[in-house]
Amino acid sequence: MAGSRRARGGRPRPALLLMLLLHLRWPQVAGAAGARWTGPGTTPHLQTIFLGRCAEQIALQNPELRDKNCTAIWEAFKVVLDKDPCSVRPSDYDLFINLSRHSIPRDKSLFWENNHLLVTSYAENGRRLVPLCNVLYGRVGDFLNWCRQTNASGLDYQSCPTSEDCENNPVDSFWRSASIQYARDSSGVINVMLNGSEPAGAYPVKGFFADFEIPYLQKDKITRIEIWVMHEIGGPKVESCGEGSVKLLEERLDKMGFQYSCTDDYPPVKLLKCVEHSTHPDCALSSPSYLQDAGGSQCHSCPPPEMPGCRVTLVLVHCPALHLCAAGSVQVC
């Protein structure tokens, strides 16, 4: 191979020696400039991360899943690592899904588009709500990449295909399978968080939520669907409820016979966003005697009357017997 060539005098060329070392010690780094696919390569230590997340989910977050076997789940998952990276279908994950699936608490499902980090922050590891990344089969794959080399055995650490390269790639097929199962298992009140500042629109009409979640919602198990259109603090309001792609979503749900509501900048989520922007005008609140939670119940904050020399600051007022908080304001003198 090229890396074994020697310069005159019998000493390896420094650049070639470096490439040889990279291939031997860090195959995911070597030759990255020649990456074939448009996506990042396999995540280093994939198996270790997968098994660690599985064990953590069972031991610390969902002890009721103690009968799940993480090793068996990994064995079912890794079957796709032996397949051509453009020939992996959602059905290839069927055994993995069957071994790792579990019930989702009623009223706790949270679907989303274009705001992954906000969703995970608000969900609080499943303590407040349970998005796909907080169920076992979603947790083990969150933010990871994987694929086999095209013409050789072993994982490809340089690049992996995305939908731009081929439809049946390992990661997209994984999330299609997981999304379908998650939608089928969701019940009660369904929460949907969209990004109203996304330039392409809050609701992608061709996306995972549109194509692999909405069609698989079980109408007889669902009470209503609540849409939250969140906007970036200080950012553009590209779309809001009743506008653009959000209106298309509302019309679709109406045709499917779902009861739904839509809220712009849902207060509990906006408060979370305002933690890092507490002095921004978008985060300034008046002093309401109450705000309503998602169920319409009043959350009393009872702020004192404004006094000279005082400033208003934000507090969270917990609504008893509810998993949400409302926004209130108090005065600091």
Q: Which residue has the tokens 């199962």?
A: 181
φ, ψ at 264 (rounded to 5°) = -85, 130
Q: Residues 177, 308: one domain?
A: no
Q: How confident is the model at residue 286 (pLDDT cuts 50, 70, 90)?
A: low
**196-224: per-residue pLDDT in tens?**
999 999 999 999 999 999 999 999 999 99
3-state secondary structure of 258: coil
Fill in the amino acid letter for 179: S
Q: Can you give the residue range of the structural domain that contains 320?
A: 285-333
Q: Which two tokens stand for residue 161?
A: 């295909």
Distance set, CA 130 to CA 108, 190, 317, 330 (Å): 5, 11, 22, 31
Tell me the whole-structure pTM to 2 decimals. 0.77
Strands 39-40 vs 290-292: parallel, antiparallel or unpaired: unpaired
Q: Residues 50, 197: one domain?
A: yes
Contacts of 279 (CB under 8 A, 6+ apart): none
**7-50: per-residue pLDDT in tens?**
323 333 333 333 334 444 444 443 344 468 999 999 999 999 99
Q: Residues 168, 308: one domain?
A: no
Cα pseudo-dihedral 35, 36, 38, 42, rounded to 10? -60
Name beta bridge partners: 326: 317
Query: Structural domain tally of the chain?
Result: 2
In a domain, 23, yes or no: no
Q: Residues 46, 97: one domain?
A: yes
Fill in the amino acid letter for 289: S
Distance set, CA 245 to CA 22, 179, 233, 321 (Å): 47, 21, 21, 35
pLDDT above 60 (res 273) = yes
Strands 222-230 vs 260-264: parallel, antiparallel or unpaired: parallel
Residue 76 CA from chain centroid, whole number: 23
Q: Which residue has the tokens 């009470």?
A: 223
- CATH number for the domain spanning 148: value is 3.40.50.720
Q: Residues 181, 317: one domain?
A: no
In a domain, 239, yes or no: yes
